[in-house]
Structure 1
Amino acid sequence: MPSVLTSPSPPSLAFVFCSLSHAPRTLPLKPSFFLRNSKPLSSFPSSSPSPPSSTRPMSWLGKLGLGFGSRSGISTEASSAIAQGPDDDVPAPGQEFAQFAAGCFWGVELAFQRVPGAIKTEVGYSQGNLHEPTYEDVCTGATNHAEVVRVQYNPQECKYEDLLEVFWARHDPTSLNRQGNDVGTQYRSGIYFYTPEQEKAARESLEKHQKVLNRKIVTEILPAKKFYRAEEYHQQYLEKGGRFGFKQSAVKGCNDPIRCYG
């Protein structure tokens, strides 16, 4: 598990940060290794019944082959190899994928939903070492997944550079493995490219932003790896109302402040 980081207050930046002033949702007591994250660890919304025990996901320890055996006969090595493979999903004709990690994926997704030319957004997990991870798996910090947003966009309407600007504006890229009170490797900053052109644009963009910051940018720039779509209740979470039921606009061009947890 990553240790809790302590660092000086972030520099005065023109970034949009999530509001973390809301009281947390009442949840059952969690093991102590979950308490470092302010983002609630929930399996399903209260309106949805828990899945039958026979269909519940196996513990991450079991899926890693630690204590409960490997899942479906997949060894630890094979699970990691699958998870570390490239994202082999195919975007719609004439469209492209982009993938970003910038802290809690709820607010990040809404920011990209509002971009003209962004056709579809999905939140999920990537860059880890476990095949088919669940939210609970990722929250342990043991799988090394990042919470990511995958954007499918029309390059005729939206440049990749435009998406990069939204990415930089949405979070503090100088904060290692944390955004606000959300702490852990799953909240790291990352740009995951699909093409050499995306990689070049990402590195040039990082260099440009580093020149105006007085702290080192810790954003990782790596090839996009297998994308695991998060549970359905995470998808368009804030547009659907978030934890408090207050829907936030995903209309293209909307610049209303984003309440990260709803």
Structure 2
Amino acid sequence: MFIVLALATLLSGCPLDGDNGKNGETGPTGETGLSGINCWDLDGDRINDSDEDKNNDGLWDANDCVTVINAERLLQSAEAEFNHQHLCEALANLGQYPTGCPSAAHTVPTGTLTRINQNLLFDDGSGGFETCNFPPNNGLLSIELRDDLDKPGEKDAWFVLDGGYIAKTLQLAYTDVIDNNSCRNECAGDVNCIASLALESGTRAECKIFYHSDTISAYERLCGVSGGGLTPTEICALSLRGQALWDVKCP
């Protein structure tokens, strides 16, 4: 009995947990991991594939990552619908020219069909751009900077084509648009066409052919929003390198 009590007394003075030992030596450095995937590397294979050079300039860089925002305001000019041209022609044959349709005195704007690039963008004094730079008769296309109605304090940028409305929309191979100017040629071969817009969508392109009316306001398309380190108008301008190809009559 005496031995048990003595052992219990001895153990009661011992800590239940021992002290932590010293840290061991740092192990060897592991192998370096793979680099991240570039934004233009759509299939993630770390190879610069031809279809990933979106603007077809022979370079694989951030310009191939610009995303065109697919948002038209009311699909067209606010006063026009997809069957607008056919209705207006039918009414004109009856001597009727309702608002929205070209007036009896309307003439198609003249000029040279021109590929709009960053060299043809000129400061409009309010954060946007005019095109062609033949004042006071600048081109029909502009890029306008506007307040974002849903996000106070932020800005949006819009492509604006004065008096323009969509007469027809075609689905074309994107390579044909780039290599053979197939969308531009559709406009060039149509005496009523004032502009064409080819929107890249993977291997395809949506080609819009525009006619003009002197009684409507403008075709508008959202092309840039705040964020990402670029201004909205810079995003729109970069998209002109391949994602949004505009050919417009310049005076």
Q: TM-score, normalised by structure 2?
A: 0.28
Higher radius of gyration, 1 or 2 = 2
